[in-house]
A and B are shown apart, each in its own frame.
Chain A
């Protein structure tokens, strides 16, 4: 009996649709858990997305650390430019850089690096101690150059964060607005001299509305990316 049972049961043929049925069951459960799941993913993505968005605003951490060795030579040298930079941040973004090497093709990576160097030099020229740039103080010509690089680089950040490219998710017009929102965000932070996103109440009243709008728009884009 005992030796036979397994052999016996193995005679029960397995229908090919069995995988499909497992999937159906799991998908149904997932769809019903929607709220719970979404919250979880949202939370996690909020972190990822924040690092994507804030890589622009808190650029000192991002670009300068990322390309530290290539562009500045060493951590110490880099630190002169961005006092808030920590060793941890440096290592973290070096890791990001390595990840970028893996995730992006050779040509893509080269382009990514070139774009980054536009930022890093902009940060050095115009950034505050946190590496944030007050774009309202940047002369027109370099501003256009930085903005153009921003257009190109955001999809790379999305990719590194495992999100669909914002450039593809959004229409051309929306994307333009998205970049504008990022610029407003960073400008506000630079004007306040803070290194993390401020509360609305900390912001001068005349800038509050623009900042809230920018923030809302960034959230909207994030939602859109998550949903895909």
Chain B
């Protein structure tokens, strides 16, 4: 069924339609969330939270064609909220279950995801994810994140610099 029809149905309160719609994006949401929160449990919590918040407020979505954009925005906001909340809690250790046992994989590639997750700050993650994972233009990014276009640009370049820097370091070890 077409996206717009599903959105309209969902806006009328049809949860089955919304579930159908939401499930098309849940893996994207999960992966984006993972980059921020770095673990499976929190990322899953975020998926649930995004599902909850988005269905609750879907009637406010004016243009169905912006559904995905809107969903990404909610995802990022939820992730940032969770991180802020967790900052007050000191973690015993951070776990990277996903990456364990992947020794045979290209180490540079694996590291770059690690890097992305570990070295970038939240705002940098948002810009990088939207730009390269979600294929957004800088203008769209500035709209989604509610930041000026110039800021989006400088955050992007700063993030890319950091990643390049890290890549070099990795290279020098090899």
Contact = CB atoms under 8 A, between A and B. Distances in A.
A11 B97 CA distance: 12
A9 B55 contact: no
Given A8-B109, A12-B31, A22-B23, A30 B15 contact: yes
Contacts of A14: 27, 30-31
A211 B51 CA distance: 46
A30 B54 CA distance: 11
B87 to A, nearest CB: 23
Interface stretch (A33-41, A51-59, A95-103, A139-147): A33-41
B131 to A, nearest CB: 8
Contacts of B35: 9, 12
A22 B31 contact: no
B18 A26 contact: yes
Interface of B: 12-13, 15, 18-19, 22-23, 26-27, 30-32, 34-35, 40, 44-45, 47-53, 55-56, 98, 102, 105, 109-110, 112-113, 116, 128-129, 131-133, 160, 163
Contacts of A205: none
27 contacts: A1-B160, A5-B129, A7-B109, A8-B109, A9-B113, A11-B105, A11-B113, A12-B31, A12-B35, A14-B30, A14-B31, A17-B44, A18-B30, A19-B26, A22-B51, A23-B51, A24-B51, A25-B53, A26-B52, A29-B51, A29-B52, A30-B55, A33-B13, A33-B56, A40-B12, A40-B13, A41-B13
A73 interface: no
The binding surface of chain B is classed by DSSP as: helix
Given A11-B98, A17-B44, A32-B56, 4 more contacts: A9-B35, A9-B133, A25-B49, A26-B51
Contacts of B50: 25
A227 interface: no
A80 interface: no
Interface in A98-148: none
Contact of A5 (B55, B98, B133): B133
Nearest to B50: A25
A22 B132 contact: no
A10 B31 CA distance: 8
B26 A18 contact: yes
A207 interface: no
Given A4-B112, A7-B109, A26-B52, A21 B47 contact: yes
Contacts of B15: 26-27, 29-30
Contacts of B18: 26
Contacts of A30: 13, 15, 55
